[in-house]
Structure 1
Amino acid sequence: MNFNYNLPVNILFGRGKINKVGTETAKYGKKALIVTGKTSTKKSGLLDKTIDLLKKENLGYEVFDKVEQNPLTTTVYEGAEAAKKAGCDVIIGLGGGSVMDAAKSIAFSTKNSGDISEYIFGKKHGDEALPIILVPTTSGTGSEGNCFSVLTNPKTKDKKSLKSNLIYAKASIVDPELMMTMPKSIIASVGFDALAHNIEAYIGKRSNPFTEMQALEGIRLLGENLFKVCNDPTDVEAWEKVTFASTLGGMVIGSSGVGLPHGMEHPASGLKNVVHGKGLAALTPIIIEKSWESDIEKFSKISVLLGGKDASDCSDAVNRFLESIDLNVTLGDLGVVKEDVDWMVENCMKISEPNIQNHPKLFTKEDIREIYLKSL
């Protein structure tokens, strides 16, 4: 064995941990920019609760509530300007994966000028970022457990991650009770994103013994509990397990990366603004069907954890799992048409080369085209 494992993430996990948001934020600044979405944290009362907890610690705050479901680079610039104008010295990401990703990039862009796409593509490197506190309200992206921030450039439609050690959260407050406010329609799609993270990190070429153990546990927990919370969103014990699995998924991709499903989904959601978890649901079974012979041992373990028998029926096991959470979709259902495929293939080759290379089977450009067409 020969590997490196470094994951500097401070995770505060458990029911009621949201009550720590004020004391944790106070360690790093005096005025917070609360980055959130347009409605959910307001409707649930979480935004007001967070503000009250900040006030209790005599902290100032500013609310930035403009984050989209696939956050844009332009939104990040707007958030960074809001932080500067208000004199904020700490960023709180309060919401789902899109909000947390936007919060990370806002913290980065506040301290690093210019086009963030140049940092995303490695043409420039940042020097510092504002400290970040993350509070996830969805159990899917695991953004609280890594240093990725996925953004879409509205001009080029490129959807790609900023990756920088500067954007690890100083504290990630993971409270399973916050997940229970998710609309039922969202639970399945974000949960499948978490499953995809664990699967892709487990089978990836950059996996290591630590991430393999964590990913297998994440797959097991989601296989046993995601359908439970889909059917009964009040099942707190099941939520704890799903939320933990989601955080594990974020941690393992932070170390071992993702593979072809994410590599192929990003062009689809970059172009069509589809829900990320649904795009993954459309692509993952087909990719596994064409990949399982590349690592029979690992695909067998995944299959068994999801109710299958061996590697050869891993794709079927994933499809049955999707049926159990009512998430059987195609890219066609999500608005992708045949005329989009050529652009998505080219964009995949442009932005997702590391993901293509990390997958256990190396797919050619024509293979990728075939998968897109079959997924319609």
Structure 2
Amino acid sequence: MIKVYISNSSEEFVKEVNHKIAEFIKFYIAFQEDHDDNRYEIAFPKFLLRNNKTRCEEVISELYEYSVDRYIHILSPLHEYALFKIIEYCEDNYEDYEKDKTEGETSLFGIVDKSLSDEEDNNSVENGGYSLSDFHTFDFYYDNIFEDFDFLDVDFFYNKFKLSPSLFYENVDVNLDDYIELMPLDIQKEYLTLKESNNKITNDVIGEEVEVNVQDFINELSNISPGKQEAKKYENLMARILSFLFSPHLIEPRTQVKTFDEREIIDMTFYNSATHGFWGDIKIKYRSNIIAVEFKNKEILGNEDYFQISSRLNDDIGRFGILVVRKANRLDMHRAYRRLHGGNVIITLSDTDIIAMLKTDATSFIANKYRKFIEKA
């Protein structure tokens, strides 16, 4: 039997509710027999039916089996979605069916166990105060066989999660793992990637915030030689350091982020969660909900390095970027100023800057560096 969310419900009451649910499912199946290719289209998202028709068939069969056996089944979101759509289908077609049914055909609401009629008591606290007459309204089933309707809003919840996983976890009581079958395949992959990335940052960076040894970061940095050979090692280290330095204002660090056309890759991005202070001002002034970061494991830069990060900045991602390098000189400052005239602010951070930020307040340091940059422009 499918679980009914009514307090003090008797076994016979739950059994009768499930008997009606079974009739809904049979009604749906009977009226879809002539539409073999699309018989499950009403009850499932199109992407699921297209990619896994067998799973759709299984869910319909399982729903019927659940409604007629004696076990209490708590439905998964996918089962809830399908059952909701089946009941919705029955409601939409009920009046036409009642008008057109031939003599002898049973009314959709005509299946009532008469043995329960003597127990009917509208004022009884048993069965939540419901009586047999309540079985004849669709609202009864919408209200009492679904714990909630989150399964109808998976896209809404996922978009909130995508914007900021950590804020989603803090403020939304929904486990998206339970709803993964209701996501298109590309969204499933994206979700799992974002989740893994968030878990890695949580475990490897945020979890170290109390125990991190700043000197270990400095030693590790000094042991990496400039150049292409150790570029990946440098990028990985800087991703860890910046995630540590910029938390909690810049969150959701992601590496190797593809641009919307998937033709270019940004080394690292942060979500700017600040509502005030320096990062809050940057968000407002430069529309920087996202902070883009590029890493260059070299001591001598060229115009192309500044052009690259500048090309990543726009009104959608924001106009504030950070270029992390091994050494920077006066010429590099002029290269950054040229980008400023195009509306982009690029702050260059060298090894010396990174070490200083590890030894002091990182936000205050970069705010001071930004102020000097703007004042000399």
**TM-score for the superposition, normalised by structure 2:** 0.29
Question: Which of structures 1 and 2 has the larger relative contact order (alpha carbons within 8 angstroms, sep 6+)?
Answer: 1
**TM-score for the superposition, normalised by structure 1:** 0.29
Task: Kindly name which structure, 1 or 2, has the bigger radius of gyration based on alpha carbons.
Answer: 2
